[in-house]
Amino acid sequence: MKIKPFPLILILLLVAFTSSYAQSYKMIYDFQWKSNKKSPEHNSELCALITRENNQPSFFESYENFRLDSLKTKVINDYAKNNRQGPLRLPSDEKKSLFRPLIIKNPADKTITVEEKAYVKLFSVTYSCPIKWKIQSNDKETILGYKAQKAVCEFGGRNWTAWFTNEIPIMDGPYKFSGLPGLILKIQDSEKNYSFEIKSITKESNDIEHRNFGSSKAANLSPKQWEKFWDSYRKQPSMVLENLNTEKTTYVINGKDVNSREVKDAFNKKEWDAMKFFEDPIELTATCN
């Protein structure tokens, strides 16, 4: 099996793909993962990759979160477009997906921004995530009717095998993966603990611009600041409920003040239960910085 780095022709293809990145698509992936290495079964959740024309940033998040974000944006856009007055009735902001982050890839400066929400607090962390791909030119497969080629990389302390197609003019893929001369249709780590596989590709425009309407302004953290926060959050998730109430506003969960011990205990349990699904994290080591 011959492995080689990008030859000149593939570099030219990358340039051509970048200039032709003028289509809006919605890709749906089946995301499967094991909660920990001893898990006999995989968890499964649908995720959406949204690309936009004119080299704008793409979005990747769980399909359920995408559905809620796009619905919220539509309601707000319709309200403004029709010059409506009175109360603005928004859909429920409660997101029940296990995969919570929103991953924004910016092809212009090759950065990745990850949005995370902890109750009403929104955090934004921007990374540089260089991935060194090696294309295995002799290995090919057909996925969802598209001719796909094999590539491998090391990312986050795991070895990954990807299958990409140049029949779709998008240099993108699920999660934080991108940079191949085509769309990544399938990618799996060598231990088969994590995988993303394409289920549908639709040429359509989508908007989630107003996804954070009503939330507090995002706190922009450096990767190190986020790691420090996350280490504390894992130990005591209810820390985000502290100091929320003001003279004019009282936050409640299920009709009870967020400062009550009952609410804090229930919040901690809910978050700790969610964390158990990712005891074996997708990134074992830091590739992004």
| Cα-based angle 185, 187, 188 (whole degrees, multiple of 5) | 155
For residue range 97-136, what is the model confidence (pLDDT) as tens digits? 999 999 999 999 999 999 999 998 999 999 999 999 999 9
Closest by CA position to 113, among listed 122, 101, 121, 125: 125
* Structure tokens that stand for 92 in this block: 């429920």
Closest by CA position to 165, among listed 27, 2, 288, 7: 27
H or E element in which residue 76 lies: helix 63-81
* Structure tokens that stand for 178 in this block: 């991108």
pLDDT over threshold 60, residue 282: yes
SS3 200: strand
Residue 27 burial (CB count, 10 A): 26
Contact 29, 61 (CB under 8 A): no
pLDDT over threshold 90, residue 83: no
Closest by CA position to 185, among listed 156, 152, 142, 155: 142
pLDDT given for residue 96 in this prediction: 77
Mean pLDDT, residues 161-171 taken together? 95
Domain 8-203 - what CATH class?
mainly beta
Instruction: Provide, rounded to the nearest whole percent, the portion of the chain with pLDDT above 70.
Output: 87
For residue range 196-216, what is the model confidence (pLDDT) as tens digits? 999 999 999 898 887 887 666
For residue range 89-102, what is the model confidence (pLDDT) as tens digits? 766 666 679 999 99
> What ranges do the domains of the chain cover?
8-203, 223-278
Band (8; pLDDT cuts 50, 70, 90) = very low
pLDDT given for residue 91 in this prediction: 66
pLDDT over threshold 60, residue 5: no
Q: In sequence order, what are the beta bridge partners of 201? A: 27
pLDDT given for residue 146 in this prediction: 98
